[in-house]
Chains A and B, each alone.
Chain A
Amino acid sequence: MTRFVLRRLIGMVVVLLALSVVIYAVFYLAPGDPAQLACGLKCSPAQVAQVREQLGLNEPVYLQYAHFLQGIVAGRDFSTGTGVLHCHAPCLGVSYKTGDQVTSLIASRLPVTASLALGAMVLWLALGVGTGLLSALRRGRFTERALTTLTLAGNAVPVFIIGLLLLLLFCASLQWLPFPTYVGLTQSPQQWFWGLLLPWVSLALIESAKYARLTRSSMLETLAEDHIRTFRAYGVSERALVTRHALRGALTPVIALSALDLGTMFGSAVLTESLFGLPGLGKLLVYSVGVVDLPVVVGLVLVTGFCVVLANALADTLYAVADRRVVLT
């Protein structure tokens, strides 16, 4: 187990290094002069040259990349012309637009996306696994058909439709809920909850369809396994068959998938965040791409990449914990 975790950690570092090389290359090959972008359109050529010098853009590419890596590990200093800006490790550079450190930009938005992703996951798991189980146990009956239709419909509608409808209904017409805003969990748990409820629900409605289908098929598969028949033949009640013997096997793939989805959610909740005006990572990414704020884009890609890789390792570990037959290597 320890060996597995160690190997996975090394693997993660390798993947992230590869990702950083690729994204750095894109950064470098992107059209336009980074110095010009950083300085702004009104800069004179002399000012641009100064900025280029400050940002170290006159150095060879490999050195720039090395400095970038050095910044992540040990932090680095940027001269601002008048003084020196120290960027603490892990340093992902400085925004061209605002001059803020990328790390702090991301750190300030991470709680928003994390709240959104985690809350939505709790909801979609409850909803998806619940409907999935119900339709597996009521196979062939009306309940199953109704649930299948509903989940399919949920899966087919894009988030901006569901989200808009929910907004219209609950915030505009009925006025049961406030328009979503983000208030930190530490500031006011209550406002945090009510502010995020609609985004959670709209994400969960869409994601839960996938989980309902997965849970249903995996439950049916498990119920058809020989060991279920064994315990049925020994008089064990149907309820105990499901809760004690089938559920564990049936939920293993669900757990693994949700860990993966959680990781992906960090990079892909863009639509939801934009729709509900939540200041999360997705919104920052869209904005930064729009104004070609390359250090922020690179930083965001690395951070979301890190989340995905971490979630992958987590999924594998959970899988092995749930099913002891899986040998971790």
Chain B
Amino acid sequence: MSADTDTREASGVADAPLVEVRGLTVEFPVDDGGSVRAVDGLDFTVRAGQALGIVGESGSGKSTVAFDLLGLHRGTGARLGGTVRVAGVDPHTAEGDELKSLRGELAAMVFQDPLSALDPYYAIGDQIAEVLRTHRRVTRRAARARAVEVLDRVGIPDAARRSRLRPHEFSGGMRQRALIAMALACEPRLLIADEPTTALDVTVQAQILDLLHDLRAETGAGLILVTHDLGVVAGSVDEVLVMKDGRAVEHGGVAEVLGSPREPYTRALVGAVPRLDAVREPEPVTAAADADGGDGGAATDAAGPGGDVLLEATGLRKEFGRRGARLTAVDDISLTVRRGETLGVVGESGSGKTTLGRMLVRLLEPTAGRLVYDGRDIGGLGERQLRPIRRELQMVFQDPVSSLNPRRSIGESIADPLRAAGRLTDRQVVSRVGELLERVGLDPDWYHRYPHEFSGGQRQRVGIARALAPEPKLIVCDEPVSALDVTTQAQVVGLLGELRRELGLSLVFVAHDLAVVRQVSDRVAVMRAGRVVEHGTADRIYDSPQHEYTKGLLAAVPVLDPEESAQRRAARRALVRG
């Protein structure tokens, strides 16, 4: 088979682009007999060594394009139109050995969602070896050796030993690396990466992007990077194709498209990206928290009694498990939340930020420490004593899909806390739910609709409405926007800020995305391994971080400017070496 490839290469196609797509359309049949056009007349080319970013929101058809390059829509009932050539092979018509060689040998896909993209039953090394043995006539032993080699190449420490582990024994970042290693196994001429960093922390994301960048430089392979995150493409590709509803909205060099977008849609996308350097819109309430005089008078008015402490945690600690298996998730954390302010809590997965958030609203009982709410220690209160306070402490959850009951209408879900309080009549409950829906930007007539009828952003609005229902004083938002597209993210973040101002709420905003946290927070606490490593006003933390960890986190945040992105990549390397 590799002989085939060589002849194809030799026979004068060296000049032809690696990927050539002309007028590609993909239509999926739908239940009512019609069809949905997921990709509509798309053109692009990728040359060897070049990188193209395909960017769009969910549902824009970007992944559909990526899948089509390997002929993965064949046999699914999808109707394919236009011409596609990948390394000289037509993925729409190729059969037998030609199709097999296209998949994995000429072009390889780096899949998204590293947890489910690998077979749970086999060792990682065996899975990579299987890919190799599908395409090359090598012994089992040689294939295993190559698997270890590529795992090592993608930076898996102790690759020989780890190659014997199964996917669930790998961390998310390592699994993503393993998927890249799998793609490298047969040294393909084209890498197609479908949202390769979406599920990962910023620092890991930066490592994966740097890895893809280096691999491209090293092997001369082409790269197609499919993502919803403009920050991800900025430092990693040469050209960008912006997609919306299956069509190309804008296509050009990465610097032009991101630097001076021509189309309104691209401009909106670029504008919605949360930026680290974004100065937060001045808000009267925050000034009170900072207490720097100037417009303090107005602030005191807006915040009523004015920025006094609502919730104070001292030496908060949470342990899970017993005896040998004990794990300290939160370790000796002290912080305060004032009335009307937003406290941002940033950290990577496993840093204990969610545990902290849940303790603050007493969904979890602290193992040790004091938690004083409104002058009263609620840390050790029993369920019965907590009940009157419960309604004042609410939570918005990360996953708007699983945190709403799919079998209850959204109106009923929002009404639940009101009914539980038992102070309103049925009629009043319904009208209050209507108000709440309207308040979060949804149509009050949608009371009887079910969660699956809504988009991710709308569902998160429902989650916020539910948290608002019992008129809380404090809402802990646990990664409220991390499952959403950038534009939707911006809207939800905007909504939270607005609600806080109007209702005088205190917010604790827990997130791994540093840029989003800066956008909303007055003060920020940076968490790592259960502890707060740095704590201060947002401006202080972001403009002059003191702790090495904070510096590392900030250096890993993707930026929109390709040039700055390259500088930051160099800076990251220096940081690693230093």
| Residues of chain A whose beta carbon lies under 8 Å from any beta carbon of chain B | 225-227, 229-237, 240, 244-245, 248-249, 323-325
Q: How many residues of B contact A (CB 8 A)?
A: 29
Partner of A234, one of B67, B113, B134, B168: B134
Q: Is the CB of B119 within 8 A of A245?
A: yes
Q: For A229, what are the chain B residues with a Cβ–Cβ distance below 8 Å?
A: 72, 111, 117
| 123-139 of chain B: CB within 8 A of chain A | 127, 130-131, 134-135
Q: Is the CB of A235 within 8 A of B99?
A: yes
Q: Name the CB-closest residue of B to A229.
A: B72
**Known contacts A226-B111, A233-B72; is A248 also within 8 Å of B116 by CB?**
no
**Known contacts A234-B104, A235-B105; is A248 also within 8 Å of B72 by CB?**
no
Q: Is the CB of B121 within 8 A of A249?
A: yes
Partner of A230, one of B101, B118, B135: B118
**Known contacts A232-B72, A233-B70, A236-B130; is A227 also within 8 Å of B100 by CB?**
no
Complex: A298 Cα to B514 Cα, angstroms: 68
Q: For A323, what are the chain B residues with a Cβ–Cβ distance below 8 Å?
A: 120-121
Complex: A231 Cα to B120 Cα, angstroms: 13
Q: Is the CB of A233 within 8 A of B104?
A: yes
- Chain B interface secondary structure, helix, strand, loop or mixed? mixed
Q: Is the CB of A234 within 8 A of B119?
A: no
Q: Does residue B166 face the partner (Cβ distance < 8 Å to A)? A: yes
**Nearest Cβ on chain B to A240's Cβ, whole angstroms:** 8
Partner of B182, one of A225, A234, A248: A234
Q: For B99, what are the chain A residues with a Cβ–Cβ distance below 8 Å?
A: 235
Can you list 25 A-B contacts (CB < 8 A)? A229-B72, A229-B111, A229-B117, A230-B111, A230-B117, A230-B118, A230-B179, A230-B182, A231-B119, A231-B130, A232-B103, A233-B70, A233-B72, A233-B108, A234-B103, A234-B104, A234-B109, A235-B100, A235-B101, A235-B103, A235-B135, A237-B100, A244-B130, A245-B119, A324-B120
Q: Is the CB of B108 within 8 A of A234?
A: yes
Q: For B102, what are the chain A residues with a Cβ–Cβ distance below 8 Å?
A: 235
Q: Name the CB-closest residue of B to A249.
A: B121
**Nearest Cβ on chain B to A320's Cβ, whole angstroms:** 13
Q: For B166, what are the chain A residues with a Cβ–Cβ distance below 8 Å?
A: 324-325
Q: For B109, what are the chain A residues with a Cβ–Cβ distance below 8 Å?
A: 230, 233-234
Nearest 9 Cβ contacts at the A-B interface: A235-B103, A234-B104, A226-B116, A235-B100, A235-B104, A227-B119, A234-B131, A233-B109, A230-B117
Complex: A66 Cα to B166 Cα, angstroms: 51
Partner of A227, one of B104, B120, B168: B120
Q: For B101, what are the chain A residues with a Cβ–Cβ distance below 8 Å?
A: 235
Complex: A295 Cα to B121 Cα, angstroms: 48
Give me 20 other A-B pairs in contact (C-beta within 8 A), A233-B70, A237-B134 excluded: A226-B113, A230-B111, A230-B117, A230-B118, A230-B119, A231-B119, A233-B104, A234-B104, A234-B108, A234-B131, A234-B134, A235-B100, A235-B102, A235-B134, A236-B130, A240-B134, A244-B130, A245-B119, A324-B121, A325-B168
Q: Which interface residue of A234, A236, A245 has the most chain B CB atoms within 10 A?
A: A234
Q: Is the CB of B135 within 8 A of A226?
A: no
Complex: A324 Cα to B135 Cα, angstroms: 29
**Nearest Cβ on chain A to B186's Cβ, whole angstroms:** 8
Q: Is the CB of A236 within 8 A of B131?
A: yes
Q: For A248, what are the chain B residues with a Cβ–Cβ distance below 8 Å?
A: 121
Q: Name the CB-closest residue of A to B70.
A: A233
**Nearest Cβ on chain A to B381's Cβ, whole angstroms:** 30
Q: Is the CB of B131 within 8 A of A227?
A: no
Q: Name the CB-closest residue of A to B102.
A: A235
**Nearest Cβ on chain A to B576's Cβ, whole angstroms:** 30
Complex: A284 Cα to B35 Cα, angstroms: 63
Q: Is the CB of B117 within 8 A of A226?
A: yes
| Residues of chain B whose beta carbon lies under 8 Å from any beta carbon of chain A | 67, 70, 72, 99-105, 108-109, 111, 113, 116-121, 127, 130-131, 134-135, 166, 168, 179, 182
Q: Is the CB of B113 within 8 A of A233?
A: no
Q: For B108, what are the chain A residues with a Cβ–Cβ distance below 8 Å?
A: 233-234
Complex: A137 Cα to B119 Cα, angstroms: 20
Complex: A230 Cα to B117 Cα, angstroms: 6
Q: For A232, what are the chain B residues with a Cβ–Cβ distance below 8 Å?
A: 72, 103
Q: Which interface residue of A229, A235, A324 has the most chain B CB atoms within 10 A?
A: A235
Q: For B67, what are the chain A residues with a Cβ–Cβ distance below 8 Å?
A: 233
Q: For A225, what are the chain B residues with a Cβ–Cβ distance below 8 Å?
A: 116
Q: For A240, what are the chain B residues with a Cβ–Cβ distance below 8 Å?
A: 134
Q: For A236, what are the chain B residues with a Cβ–Cβ distance below 8 Å?
A: 130-131, 134
**Nearest Cβ on chain B to A135's Cβ, whole angstroms:** 18
Q: Name the CB-closest residue of A to B182.
A: A234
Q: Name the CB-closest residue of A to B118.
A: A227
Complex: A324 Cα to B123 Cα, angstroms: 11
Q: For B117, what are the chain A residues with a Cβ–Cβ distance below 8 Å?
A: 226-227, 229-230
Q: For B72, what are the chain A residues with a Cβ–Cβ distance below 8 Å?
A: 229, 232-233
Complex: A245 Cα to B116 Cα, angstroms: 13
Q: Name the CB-closest residue of A to B109.
A: A233
**Known contacts A234-B104, A236-B134; is A227 also within 8 Å of B116 by CB?**
yes
Complex: A323 Cα to B195 Cα, angstroms: 28
Q: For B134, what are the chain A residues with a Cβ–Cβ distance below 8 Å?
A: 234-237, 240
Complex: A236 Cα to B104 Cα, angstroms: 9
Complex: A226 Cα to B112 Cα, angstroms: 10
Q: Name the CB-closest residue of B to A246.
A: B119
Complex: A244 Cα to B130 Cα, angstroms: 10
Complex: A233 Cα to B168 Cα, angstroms: 21
Q: Name the CB-closest residue of A to B132.
A: A234
Q: Is the CB of A325 within 8 A of B120?
A: yes
Q: For A231, what are the chain B residues with a Cβ–Cβ distance below 8 Å?
A: 119, 127, 130-131
Complex: A230 Cα to B103 Cα, angstroms: 10
Q: Name the CB-closest residue of B to A232.
A: B72
Complex: A233 Cα to B107 Cα, angstroms: 9
Complex: A144 Cα to B254 Cα, angstroms: 51
**Nearest Cβ on chain B to A148's Cβ, whole angstroms:** 21
Q: Name the CB-closest residue of B to A238.
A: B75
Complex: A231 Cα to B105 Cα, angstroms: 13
Q: For A324, what are the chain B residues with a Cβ–Cβ distance below 8 Å?
A: 120-121, 166, 168
Q: For B105, what are the chain A residues with a Cβ–Cβ distance below 8 Å?
A: 235
**Nearest Cβ on chain A to B493's Cβ, whole angstroms:** 30
**Nearest Cβ on chain A to B282's Cβ, whole angstroms:** 46
Complex: A248 Cα to B121 Cα, angstroms: 8
Q: Name the CB-closest residue of A to B131.
A: A234
Q: Name the CB-closest residue of A to B179.
A: A230
Q: Which interface residue of A226, A229, A249, A325 has the most chain B CB atoms within 10 A?
A: A226
Complex: A319 Cα to B103 Cα, angstroms: 33
Q: Name the CB-closest residue of A to B133.
A: A236
Complex: A232 Cα to B100 Cα, angstroms: 9
Q: For B168, what are the chain A residues with a Cβ–Cβ distance below 8 Å?
A: 324-325
**Nearest Cβ on chain B to A47's Cβ, whole angstroms:** 62
**Nearest Cβ on chain A to B184's Cβ, whole angstroms:** 12
Complex: A111 Cα to B250 Cα, angstroms: 76
Q: For B70, what are the chain A residues with a Cβ–Cβ distance below 8 Å?
A: 233
Q: For A244, what are the chain B residues with a Cβ–Cβ distance below 8 Å?
A: 130
Complex: A231 Cα to B179 Cα, angstroms: 11
Q: For A249, what are the chain B residues with a Cβ–Cβ distance below 8 Å?
A: 120-121
Complex: A323 Cα to B117 Cα, angstroms: 16
**Nearest Cβ on chain A to B540's Cβ, whole angstroms:** 43
**Nearest Cβ on chain B to A181's Cβ, whole angstroms:** 45
Q: For A226, what are the chain B residues with a Cβ–Cβ distance below 8 Å?
A: 111, 113, 116-117
Q: For A230, what are the chain B residues with a Cβ–Cβ distance below 8 Å?
A: 109, 111, 117-119, 179, 182
Partner of A233, one of B103, B118, B121, B127: B103
Q: For B104, what are the chain A residues with a Cβ–Cβ distance below 8 Å?
A: 233-235
Complex: A302 Cα to B155 Cα, angstroms: 58
Q: For A237, what are the chain B residues with a Cβ–Cβ distance below 8 Å?
A: 100, 134
Q: Name the CB-closest residue of B to A234.
A: B104
Q: For B120, what are the chain A residues with a Cβ–Cβ distance below 8 Å?
A: 227, 249, 323-325
**Nearest Cβ on chain A to B36's Cβ, whole angstroms:** 19
Q: Name the CB-closest residue of B to A228.
A: B119
Q: Name the CB-closest residue of A to B192.
A: A233
Complex: A249 Cα to B119 Cα, angstroms: 9
